[in-house]
Amino acid sequence: MNHFIYRNQELCCEEVEVAKIAAEVGTPFYLYSHATLARHFQTFDSSFANIPHLSCFAVKSCSNIAILRLFAQLGGGADIVSGGELFRALTAGVPPERIVYSGVGKTREELAYALRANILQFNVESEQELEALQEVAAAAGVKARVSFRVNPDVDPQTHAYISTGLAKNKFGIPIDQGVAVYLRARELANIQVQGVSCHIGSQLTQVSPFIESLRKLKNFIARLQAEGIRISHLDLGGGLGIQYRDEEPPHPEEYAQAIQAELAGLDCTLILEPGRVIVGNAGALITRVHYTKQGPAKKFVIVDAGMNDLARPSLYGAYHAIRPVRDHGQGREVADVVGPICETGDFLSRDQEVPVSLPGELLAVMSAGAYGFSMSSNYNSRPRVAEVLVAGAGYHVIRQRENYEDLVRGEEIPAFLQS
Ligand code: LLP
């Protein structure tokens, strides 16, 4: 359920006509519904209301500070993976005691920054990272609260590029080597061990892989307890999928119930790192048709958004439904919706039924709230698009469209080339 609906054949986001925003802001732009964002967050978070928990929104999925602020106001925290994401979270007003930091390649500078900010937890992914964190924490004269991300070797049954909890993936510490790392951490003066974490993949459409990994983590925690190591925080990562087309992912309540049933008896604060499930269907990419072209093999609808604005179709072959912004009975036809970028991989939809479109008409690329703007780039020297948040009858530009000056900011022509 989301707040993108048709009224008098016009696609509206909450109470605002999408065409009106396009006329005023220009295209392309990302459009988010405040009501959908808030409802998705609250539905997810309240599903765990019976147990001590913290929902740390995965900043990488949608990192605009207005959206981070909204979740912080609703009691959420942030799952970050870089110094830049920490800066965003702090700028948005996420309390540091609700921030967890994952990622295999944290630099010493990033570790120091997060220590200064006094975040809740570092999800450490290797023994060398542990040693680096000890050094940096000792230099700063503080103690780092640590959880180790263990790799439970569970198949999340999703796209290979977004599977993270398999033995062959780069993430985490193999679960069989885990106890030794905890024993080492216990000896370090500036490390305070508090948690175990994992994240097995993204866009999971079944509960079973989550449960399988939770069982492995429970056994692991029992082994740690036998060594006298107490675990107060269990971080299960993110990964719950959404419906793009005909997937039937578990409802957050079903997911939460299954997890809580399995958790019974474990005295831990549960940390969750949802991204896509909160924002995916709360956002759309709005684009205008430039031209249409009938080739010998297929028809192309050439729009003003490209793979630099929404990478998912090119990168993962991902499906995004394409809807007309004005539904005037134009019908649908099989065509490729493509961008202006000079690559054959530049498509937003391929061999799918899309609205029959004329130059100048607007299209909405749905389910684009997660890993949409946050993965966008300036490829082909295209300024990054605007982001707009609708709330009720009003809308707010939460990120200005970039301009040409933005494209060359920081670039310099060295003196020897200036003559
Ligand atoms: N926690 C960690 C440690 C993660 O690596 C991720 C996502 C999440 C949480 C949030 O996962 P979610 O709830 O959103 O599934 N760009 C890809 C998805 C990459 C996911 C990376 N990690 C896509 O567009 O499908």
List pLDDT tens digits, range 315-359. 999 999 999 999 999 999 999 999 999 999 999 999 999 999 999
Has 13 been annotated as catalytic?
Answer: no
Measured distance CA(11)–CA(244) in Å, rounded: 18
| Whole-number pLDDT of residue 380 | 98
pLDDT-based confidence at residue 283 (cuts at 50, 70, 90):
very high
Residue closest via CA to ligand 1's atom 19 equals 162
Which whole-number Å values give the CA distances from 80 to 25, 96, 167, in the listed order? Answer: 30, 11, 23
Q: Which atom of ligand 1 is nearest to the CA of 280?
A: 14
List pLDDT tens digits, range 143-180. 999 999 999 989 888 887 777 777 788 888 999 999 99
Distance 414 CA to ligand 1 centre (A): 40
Q: Which residues contact 230 (CB under 8 A, 6 or more apart)?
A: none
Distance 19 CA to ligand 1 centre (A): 31
Q: Which atom of ligand 1 is nearest to the CA of 239?
A: 15
Residue from 316, 317, 365, 312 nearest 337 by CA: 365
Report whether 365 contacts 305 (CB < 8 A). yes
| Whole-number pLDDT of residue 213 | 95
Which whole-number Å values give the CA distances from 149 to 108, 122, 200, 233, in the listed order? Answer: 18, 9, 10, 12
* Per-residue b or e along 78-107, where b marks 16 or more CB atoms closer than 10 Å to that residue's CB: bbbbbbebbebbbebebbbebbbbbbeebe
Report whether 19 contacts 323 (CB < 8 A). no
Distance 384 CA to ligand 1 centre (A): 22
Residue closest via CA to ligand 1's atom 9 equals 238
Q: Which residues contact 405 (CB under 8 A, 6 or more apart)?
A: none
User: What average pLDDT score do residues 394-407 get?
Assistant: 98
| Whole-number pLDDT of residue 169 | 83
- Bond preceding residue 28 cis, omega within 30 of 0: yes
List pLDDT tens digits, range 254-265. 999 999 999 988
Q: For the chain, which domains are there?
A: 4-32+280-408 (2.40.37.10), 34-278 (3.20.20.10)
Distance between terminal CA atoms of the chain?
Answer: 61
| Whole-number pLDDT of residue 163 | 75
Instruction: Give yes or no for residue 1 having a pLDDT over 60.
Output: no
Helices (H), strands (E): how many in the chain? 12, 21
User: What average pLDDT score do residues 247-251 get?
Assistant: 97
The neighbouring-strand residues paired with 113 are none
User: What average pLDDT score do residues 408-412 get?
Assistant: 98
Distance 239 CA to ligand 1 centre (A): 6
| Whole-number pLDDT of residue 158 | 80
Ligand 1 pocket, Cβ-based, cut-off 6 angstroms: 58, 61, 79, 102, 162, 199, 202-203, 237-240, 273-277, 312, 316, 370-371, 375
Please provide the average confidence, as pLDDT, over all residues in the chain.
96
The neighbouring-strand residues paired with 17 are 12
Distance of CA 169 to the CA centre of its chain: 19
Strand, coil or helix: what is 63?
A: coil
Q: Which atom of ligand 1 is nearest to the CA of 164?
A: 5
Q: Which of 77-86, 165-174, 218-227, 408-417 has the lowest mean pLDDT?
A: 165-174
Distance 238 CA to ligand 1 centre (A): 7
pTM over 0.95: yes
Measured distance CA(213)–CA(43) in Å, rounded: 23
Distance 278 CA to ligand 1 centre (A): 12
Q: Which atom of ligand 1 is nearest to the CA of 61?
A: 14
Our mutation pick for probing the ligand 1 site, out of 44, 61, 124, counting the most ligand atoms within 8 A of Cβ, is 61
| Whole-number pLDDT of residue 88 | 98
Residue closest via CA to ligand 1's atom 8 equals 238
* 13, 56, 198, 342: the active-site residue: 342
Q: Which atom of ligand 1 is nearest to the CA of 375?
A: 16
Our mutation pick for probing the ligand 1 site, out of 276, 314, 348, 367, counting the most ligand atoms within 8 A of Cβ, is 276
| Whole-number pLDDT of residue 73 | 98
Instruction: Give yes or no for residue 303 having a pLDDT over 90.
Output: yes
The neighbouring-strand residues paired with 352 are 335
Instruction: Give yes or no for residue 42 having a pLDDT over 90.
Output: yes
Question: For a pLDDT cut of 90, what percent of the chain falls above it?
Answer: 94
| Whole-number pLDDT of residue 165 | 74
Per residue, the 3-state secondary structure of 228-261, as one string, reads CCCCCEEECCCCECCCCCCCCCCCHHHHHHHHHH
Residue 186 CB-density burial (10 A; 0-12 exposed, 13-18 middle, 19+ buried): middle
List pLDDT tens digits, range 89-137. 999 999 999 999 999 999 999 999 999 999 999 999 999 999 999 999 9
Report whether 274 contacts 58 (CB < 8 A). yes
Q: For the chain, what is the radius of gyration of the CA atoms?
A: 23
| Whole-number pLDDT of residue 219 | 96
Name the one residue in this structure whose structure tokens are 């049933």.
261
Count, residues in the chain? 419
Measured distance CA(136)–CA(144) in Å, rounded: 9
The amino acid occupying position 70 is L
- Using left for φ > 0, alpha for ψ between -120 and 50, and beta otherwise, residue 88 falls in alpha
